[in-house]
Amino acid sequence: MRKFKSLKAGIFYRLLTSSPLNYRLSKSKGGSHKTLVAPGRLPINFSWHPSVEISGYKVKKVLIERALLTEEEAYKLVHKIK
């Protein structure tokens, strides 16, 4: 099991909405709660404010359980961010 680094919510949001994940905003009811959808992947309810730090555990869990990535794919994606 690898340890994932924590990310600011704004950076994590950009990671989810860029290639190769390509999530897009779906139903937005205003405020900080957003639903992100992508073809072939499970929806992600994104409710963090941009400056909030998301733990490495939560980043890993979302990428593996919702974005349907393997642990190796998720690790490479997160750790290529500077």
Q: Which pTM value belongs to this model?
A: 0.89
Which pLDDT score is estimated for 5? Answer: 95
* Domain boundaries defined on the chain: 7-79
C-alpha–C-alpha distance, residues 24 and 32, integer Å:
15
pLDDT in tens, 16-31: 999 999 999 996 666 7
Return the higher-pLDDT residue of 32 and 24: 24
Q: Domain 7-79 carries which CATH code?
A: 3.30.920
For 1-82, strand residue ranges (E) read 7-8, 24-28, 34-37, 44-46, 53-54
Mean residue pLDDT of the chain comes to 91
pLDDT in tens, 51-75: 899 999 999 999 999 999 999 999 9
Q: First CA to last CA across the chain, in angstroms?
A: 22
